[in-house]
Amino acid sequence: MTRRLFAAVTLAAFGGLLLAAPVPKDKKEDFGPVTDEQLKEAVKRMKLIGIGLHNYHDAYGFLPNNFGSAGQAGKPAASWRVHLLPFLEEDTLYKQYNFDEAWDSDGNKKLIDKMPKIYAPIRVKTKEKGLTFYRGFDGADTTFESGKKLRIPAGFPDGTSNTIAVVEAGEPVVWTKPEDIKFDPKKGLPELGGLFDGDFHVVLMDGSYQKATGKKVNADEFKKYITRSDGQVNNADAAFGKK
């Protein structure tokens, strides 16, 4: 599917059982009950990130990852969120980033406070600037597995509709920092749902999204969506707590 066609189709679409607790209160400030407007904005952002990932893939032939040509002993230069900027209408900010330096170099650190709106927290306010809850998973067989430059569809034997791209995490991270949620299938699920009191949104690799009810999520079924090639049949209702 071409970049423009995928974007048009996706934009037209706008329109172990318990998870760990959400972010500790000293990490953020809560702004009252969830509103319909906030939920719509969350879905919109997830969709746009999904479009951006596919558009990046169309341009370069592989998905963005936490890589770059930093001069500090191979230290990753930028998060995938930085690499995605030109595909989120943030060209000016992208051009200010120095990929020959580490993400936390004196020059690149100045851009932390310039985090674009699409990565900014919804409903909550972090006590430090430049923190985002939009993160992927990093571990064996995940979409943001370290050292991998994945291609669609070859890199997703389970299918793009059965693999998570990005989630609303429980713990925020500096948006430029090349760090995702560490995943080990032998352990419990990491903290998720830091924006909506444990509930959270997910964008899948086909660009579609799911809203998960945190307290009803079946951890074993959810893990099947984190991995790309486990060969198992996914149960969306159980994985995202719809029943």
pTM: 0.86
- pLDDT tens digits along 20-54: 333 334 456 666 789 999 999 999 999 999 999 99
Q: How many domains does the chain have?
A: 1
Q: Which domain holds residue 29?
A: 3-239
Quickly list DSSP for the chain.
--HHHHHHHHHHT----SPPP-S-GGGEEE-SS--HHHHHHHHHHHHHHHHHHHHHHHHHSS---S----TTTT-----HHHHTGGGGT-HHHHHT--TTS-TTSHHHHTTGGG--GGGSPSSEEESSTTEEEEE-EESTTSTT-TT----TTTT-TT-GGGSEEEEEEEEEEETTS---EE--TTSPPPPB-TTBTTBEEEEETTS-EEEE-GGG--HHHHHHHH-S---PPP-HHHHTT--
Residue type, 26: D
Gap between the Cα atoms of 111 and 47, Å rounded: 24
Q: Give burial (CB, 10 Å; 0-12/13-18/19+) of 175.
A: buried
> Is the pLDDT reported for residue 70 higher than 60?
no
Gap between the Cα atoms of 227 and 183, Å rounded: 9
Gap between the Cα atoms of 70 and 149, Å rounded: 17
Gap between the Cα atoms of 97 and 78, Å rounded: 9
Which of 6-20, 29-43, 224-238 comes out lowest in average pLDDT?
A: 6-20
Backbone CA torsion sign across 83, 97, 87, 166: positive
- Identify the residue whose tokens are 């409903």: 123
Q: What percent of the chain has pLDDT over 90?
A: 75
Which of 58-67, 72-81, 152-161, 193-202 comes out lowest in average pLDDT?
A: 72-81
